Each structure stands twice: as structure tokens, then as C-alpha cells.
Structure 1
Amino acid sequence: MTAMIMHSASLSTPTLNRHGVWKNSLAAGLAVALHAGVALLLVLGWNVEKLTVETPRVLRTQLVMLPPAPVPEAPAPAPVIPVAAPLVESTPPPIDAPRPVPAKPVVDPRIQAQKLEQAALARKRVEEQKREQQAQQQRERQANERRRQDAEQQVAEQQRQARQAQELAQQRLAEQARQATADSRSYQPLSKQAPDYPQRALDKGLEGDCTVEYSVMPDGRIDNPKVIEGCHPLFIRPSLAAAQTFRYQPRIIDGRAVTVPAVRNTFHYRIK
């Protein structure tokens, strides 16, 4: 089948008239000229400046207090004849000026917290010092108590030792007395002759003591007399001679006479 395309006058592109073409050409030319001018200005260093915004004007007002209007003076009164009555001047009561109200100080919470913390630390330090003082006083009391107890114990120990020493001394004395009693019962001196005072000692005015030690034999005589140290040489010979003359009652043990050793006798040489 063959299709045939028919050209219709209504479907063809309308032809432009001269007036429309002229308008389009003019608009295109103006646009090209405008772009060319802008490009030229940019090449020449033209900068686009910002538009300055005009600062709005501010209207300021000020309150001005005008002085009060002058009061017209009253006309002078007619002179008054003074009378004898006294004049009393009355002064108006003073008007108290209003006192300024002090402004409340603004307290910084951090400063307040810091002050509270410092106060708590100070209170804690004071309590620690009190506890330390109490502990120190307790230690001192304990030390004083220990010293007192030690002193009491020392005194008690000294008293106990003194009592023991006294008891021992008493026992010793009792033993010596008993021994002396027993000895005196065992051997009694029957005769003793005083020594002669040396003439040389008399001439020199010498005095002294001389102790002689000897043994009492079963027959009552003495044996092996000797002088103990401390005797003056002038008193040795008369002391030994006098001791040789001593006679004793012999000691009897179990019915037998025995020897008594280490018997001492002291001679006292005095000038009267």
C-alpha cells in the first residue's frame, strides 16, 4: 500500500514577518554587547563593591529638670508696733534623710563551699589535737603510775632486805652470844695478870692496844701465843709475857678436856 503525504497549509511552519526578526536580532545584539562590556571591565580590574548599608539613626532623649518657677514676693506688711510679749521662734522638726538600704552581698557558691571545707578541716585538726593531748596525758599518767609502783617496789625490796639483814645480824649476835656463853661455860679464865707498861712507851707518851691469839690446852695453860697485826712494837713483848701467865678452866666435851684454838685477848695500854 502506498501512503501519500499531502502538504496542508495549516501544518506548515508559519513564516515570520520582518518585524519579529528585527526584534529578536536587536535583543540578541544587546545581550552580546552587555556580556562583552562586563568581560572587558573584569579584564581591566573592575571589582564589584558591596553596597554600604546606611546605619539607622538613633534618637536619644534626656530628662532635664527645670528649676521651679520663682515665687513672687509678698508685699511687705505694714509695720507692727512691738509689744512686751516675748517672741517664740518655732523651728520645724528636722526631716530624717532616708538611709540607704545596704545591698546584700552576692556569695559565690564555690567560695562558700571552700569556706565550709576549710572550717571542717580546722574543726577536724582541733579534734585531732584534743585527742593527741588526751593520749599524751594518758601516757604521762601511766608513766607516773609505773614510776610510783617501781618506787614502791624498790622501797619494799629495800625494807625486806633491811629486815633480812637485821634478822641475820640478830641471828649472828644470838649465835655469838650462845657461843660465848657456851665457851664461857666451857673454859673460864682462872687467873690473868696485867702486862707491865714499857718504860720507853711511858717516856714517849705512847698508848695503844695489842691483841694476842693463842690456844687453851686441856690442862688450862695457853699454847703458841702470837700478836695480831696492828700492835705497836713496844707493846709486843709485855703482851706475850702477860699471856703466858694466863690459866683457864679446860673445855669439857663428852667428859673429856679438849683444846680450844684461836682464843684472843686484847691488852689496852693507857696512861692514867
Structure 2
Amino acid sequence: MNAALMEGMLLREPTPPSRAPQGLALLGAIGLHVALGAVLLSSWTPTFEPPSNAQILRTQLLSLPVPVEPHVQPEAPIEPPPEPVVPEPVVQSEPAPPTEAELAFKRAEQERAAEAARQQKLRQQREAAERERQAREAEQLRLAREAERAAEAPRQLEAERARAAAAEQARREAAAAADRQYLPIAKTPPVYPQRALDSGVQGECTVSYDVDPNGRVVSPQVAGQCHPLFIRPSLDAAKRFRYRPRIVDGQAVTVRGVQNTFHYRIE
């Protein structure tokens, strides 16, 4: 409140100067300051009512924005053209003479190259000699095989002749044995039964019999399954068979258990 009073007293518009002497005004100001100091030092706040004709001046602090200058793109500085580069003259210096180490290394390289060439030549010579040896061995083997075949030719011819003679002898013996075996001379087919033809019956019938020394069939009988209509014609046909008798030790003998199968088909 004291601050408000002080602000009101300070902001009060001064009254128009009077015609009193300046000393009186000075004394009045000093007294006012003394009274104000006393009021500030004490806790008592005096009630001050400004005169009705007092005018109060009020101020207000305004913050104005900082003016922004327009941004101007600075112009790029113009660079001077580059000066032409003049190549420096190349001074060709004479090569330095090789050192002892370089000369020794070069001699070693030459010796290694010469040794490698010599080894390559020796290897080629060995390979050529090996190929020549293999060719000689192959030729010798071929000549030996030809000589062996030439020597075996008479033996092979003799062996072939012996085999031919043996085959002819076997053929003759087989023919002679066949002459000694019993062989059929005549085989008359059976008569197809009329009843079987009328009924359309077909089948087979096996007959077993013996061949006597005269080549005739003895004791024929049916072996296995046989239709009744085919039994009699099969037995009658077997009895009419004739054989060449078997010869054993110059004598004709009986052959037992000979079988023959008759087939009855209507075509």
C-alpha cells in the first residue's frame, strides 16, 4: 500500500506554480520528504485522499517486435580463371650401374633356367626311349604270336580232321544203333466211331503194349483216361501196328511198355 501511495504521489501532476517565494516551496518539499521517511519507517499507513482535481498519469510498457531485415542471398564471389599448369620438364637420368648383388641374382636366374631346360631335354629323351622300347616289345610280341599261330596251324588242322573223323564214326554208330532199335514200319490210324461223330465227341486215348521179336503188337490195353467210344477203335488200330524188331547181341528181343496216343478230332 505504501508503494501505491508513493507511486500516486510521484505521478501526481504538479499544481501550477504559485506566487509564494521559492524558499517556502523548498521547505515544504523537505517537510514532505521527512514525513514520507517517517511513514516508511513506521508500520502506520496514513490515509491519503488525493484532491479531486488531481490527475493520474498511467504508463504501460509495450514490447515491439524486432524488425527483420529481408534475407538477401549473397552473391558468389567470382573466382579468377585458373592459371595454366606448365608441366615440369622431365630430366632423364642415366641408369645406375647394377650392383654386385643384382649381377649375382641375374647369374643365378640364368643358371636355374639353363638347368630347367637341361632337365626338360633329358625327360623328353627318356620318354622317347621308353616309347621306342614299348614299340619294340609290341613288335616282338606280335611276331611271336604269328610264329605260334603258324606252328599251331598244322596241329589245329590235324585236330579238326580228328574231330571230323570222330563225328563220322559217331554218326555211323548211331545209325547202326538205330538199325538195332525197334522202329515203327506201319501205323494205321483208328476209325472214328460213328456215334462219336454224330454226338460231336472229341478226345484222346493212350494204348500201352509190347512188341514181340517179330515186330507185332502184343497185349494192348488202355492207359489212363479214355472215352468209352474211343477204346475199341484204339485197341484195334494198335494191333495192326508193325515194328522193326530190336536186336541185342544179334538176337531179336521183346520190347515192353511201348505207348501210343490216338487223337480224335472232328474237322
Q: What TM-score results when the alignment is normalised by the length of structure 2?
A: 0.33
Structure exhibiting the larger radius of gyration computed from Cα positions: 2
